[in-house]
Amino acid sequence: MTATFPARPGWAQGGAATGANYTADASAPPWRSGSAERPLQPVNLLELEEAAARVIPAAGFDYIAGGAGDEWTLRENRAAFERRQIVQRVLTGKVVADTATEILGTPIALPTIVAPMGGQAIAHVSAEAGTARGAAAAGTLHTVSTVATLSLEDAARAADGPKWFQIYLTRDDGFNAELLQRARAAGYGAIVLTVDVPIVGNRERDRRNGFVYPPAAAPRNFLDAAGRLRPIERAFQPRLDADSIAFVRRHGGLPVVVKGIATAEDALLALDAGAAAIQVSNHGGRQLDGAPAAFTVLPEVAAAVQGRVPLILDGGIRRGADVFKALASGADVVALGRPVLYGLALGGWQGVQSVFQHLEDELRTVMQLAGAATVADIRRTRLYG
């Protein structure tokens, strides 16, 4: 594995994020968090978290890494992958061809895309521009959050890779419609409607730290004409149903991915309302603590959907083996959350690219040892357990 995460300045040192300065990264020194005695060279994505904890200011790191309540669901998102096993197949005569696939008609180099995450200037001064560029360099798709640091237009301009816009509906339908029209005008290919944040979960690390987004990470989409920030959290729409999906379809005029589905019932409601894809997710354990892992509920959702729309899974993906298990259990692609921000914090856009390259390397090794030459082969593979 040769993935590297060259060091970059973080938001604390870098000042306000504009996205304009991410190209200056090329001359960066080696890992900021390493030292002569102890050079830092993570060999897997799990090790990135500890490294990122040393470069992201503590309360910002807690916001990113943390979950709701006891963080049981956060841990369970990982543990659920550990309970399933991959079948070793070495006499199939197959050799890994490639990891390429597509999602909603968009070709991607590997079956892993970027999950929407707000406030990316908390991790790095380049914010969503760095993530967009890293994802494009890795040949994958980037999802820009409603509460991104950069405006959706600036995030869209940062790279020419494929991109989706994630929307949180607020109580203000005029503002919602405006956001959707802006997203379409800016060239986003789909709208991801997140339905698992009718209210923000009980995030105890954030309460303990008194955490709010720092001014450098203020979500630009919420600035009013006078440049003032509109209130955000209290503005979220708690009442979500089939009409919410119809609203987003009508005003966005784009395919709608419904994100935050964890049951057959909600999946069927979303399908009936015209969802173009379903993202199985518990928001990375940040919302309903005590809910099962996203991977645990994936087969239930897959059985209900019966291939009528593609399924995306997120939550706890850290290894190529996790990607493999998710695809073998009914997902078409997976989305990656926190490791993207850790790569961004440690290496700017190149750090993000390295995260995806690393995952692709691991996935190729697993595929070869499990007798899968293509993504389609993975989806036909059975697991133990």
Ligand X SMILES: CCCCC(=O)C(=O)O
Task: Round to whole Å and give the CA distance between 348 and 293.
Answer: 30
Site string for ligand X, 181-210 (x = CB under 6 A): ----------------x--x----------
As annotated, the binding site for FMN includes: 116-118, 145, 166, 194, 259, 281, 314-318, 337-338
Site string for ligand FMN, 206-225 (x = CB under 6 A): --------------------
Per-residue string for binding with ligand X, 52-91, x by CB under 6 A?
----------------------------------------
Selection from ligand FMN, ligand X, none that 330 binds (CB < 5 to 8 A by kind) is none
Sheet holding 277-280, edge to edge: 112-114, 333-336, 311-314, 277-280, 256-261, 191-194, 163-167, 142-144
Residues 99-158 that bind ligand X (CB under 6 A): 118, 147
The residue from 124, 142, 251, 283 that is catalytic is 283
- The span from the CA of 318 to the CA of 376, in Å, is 21
Instruction: Provide CB contacts within 8 A for 212, sequence distance 6+.
Output: none
Nearer to ligand FMN, 96 or 179 (CB): 179
Residues in the chain: 385
Closest residue by beta carbon to ligand X: 118
First-last CA distance in the chain: 29
Among 78, 124, 133, 286, binds ligand X (CB under 6 A): 286
Known binding residues for glyoxylate are 63, 168, 203, 283, 286
**Do 21 and 13 touch, CB atoms closer than 8 A?**
no
Nearer to ligand FMN (CB atom), residue 328 or residue 340: 340
**Which of 328, 68, 354 is CA-nearest to residue 336?**
354
* 243 contact partners, CB below 8 Å, separation of at least 6: 273
Is the sign of the CA dihedral 243, 244, 246, 250 positive or negative? positive
In the block, residue with structure tokens 């399908």: 271
- Which CB sits closer to ligand X, 118 or 161? 118
| Per-residue contact flags (x/-) with ligand FMN for residues 54 to 93, judged by CB under 6 A | ----------x------------x----------------
Angle at CA of residue 123, ends 325 and 202, nearest 5°: 70
Residues found near ligand FMN in the complex (CB under 6 A): 64, 77, 115-118, 145, 147, 166, 194, 259, 281, 283-284, 314-317, 336-338
